[in-house]
Structure 1
């Protein structure tokens, strides 16, 4: 298949004029690039920026991250979702401290040995922070190259990804691997958009894009359709005691939202009578005031969709095993409440 010809000169010139002024670009240390790339997995840039700022203020270097208590780490991560990313960051930081003297290794291969660091993240750190020739091929880059080369290969196929990676490296200039990789990411994020929305009039590579010339832009990239998500009913009980504290429940240490805090719930659909009976069996008594229905809410995880409903009620008794009573101040400032429960967070935190 013929190619688009060299793309680096036009792409880098465009990037110099159009690059967003992001904080981790202003000071691209290995630590800053690493944390930012992990945060930006599954998260929009605009949503991650404030988290990045707070994270760096609290944990300015690898040793600080390695020593951070889990509860504090999860609170800093609150709202970003996919909390396994935060766990892997801490595990990797501890490994960097024990094996590399607290400094990320300047090696594409060694970086991939760290928990949570795959080929893409290793390539981003190696090229942007260390100036090493390395690929950083994410979904944005795969989309750009599928269109540039008018290639209908399934980008979920490992062989296709290896082919696109070779093409990226063939195009990458030896003297600017980091800016080249960043420019490709930026082009995919701002111009060569998914679906029916590519902004070809703003693209510095439009005149050499083979898919544009062939009229196949909207057909690319080709990828495997996602599997249907399982729907899981969830019954949420926002229980408050006479001191104005709410019952929080810690999730199991493995599985979905592992180790995080949530309003008391059952991962099944219960009637009010069934829910009250469950509370009574746990030693909690519910006041005579009628429970108030909660507004239904849903949250979509990668493989399951929670459909939540339940009640707000007054209760008394010791917190059951794995639970605690938390004041609105504690719920807002100490315990990490995942974004799955944003519909109910104001009730737990007093609007904080």
Structure 2
């Protein structure tokens, strides 16, 4: 499960309207028809129009400055193993979203009229998507890049020959390109994986737009707060503040597992991924102490996430910085995609 929480920005400035983001989330509906379309939804309603989402989010920004986020984007991306537990991706993920947002409000250290924040105190809209494309940050693109660069160089050389700027054998260059296309380490359906290519398999995930202001448009609720839990004097009153991100990510996993009966492996747990950053020796020790079948699954999951695990240590004496540095690059990519501000 990978979850990101980000304020929406355009360059150095925060988006002043949700219109562009909502339009982006409508991209799949441009190629779908009728019953296959995915509508926005919230805690109680289905089939909410894009126009209503923009109007409601943009109209709930009272007293926020241009330098402050107007809304946050939460992206929830279950793994392919988690998705296998679902009977109906759209309906199951919709049900999970509504439980997840209860976890979200429970992680605010805030009160409204002396009561903890409830699901009815926030304004959010969500949408299920079923497609993904490869991005530059994906390991497949990164590891294919040397081949892509060489192919582009050869293609450029072919164009210069065709234009008469230089002489050379085009057929030999074309053969080199075919060879490079075939040798690229990451392929899909017999073709080199390139940026923008649609990923195969079940790619269902959730996009959530949540207003920075509460439903009454009077209180600011920031999941990007640097405070987990604290109190501060404001206008002569003692006010609670903060959002516990660690608690939210942990709750999101437990809610998914409880809802769909998913048995989470050690390397899939948010707490374990964070432990890798703070205490890699403990992380590897715990990994090596897993039962044989769970350890095998853990290694498989790690390989699929892009971690080079050929030299996992076999004793505590080998839990050294050399191994840590070898693995860190791959794991950090996964960790960054599942949290804010670790």
TM superposition score normalised by structure 1 = 0.23
The TM-score normalised by the length of structure 2 is 0.24
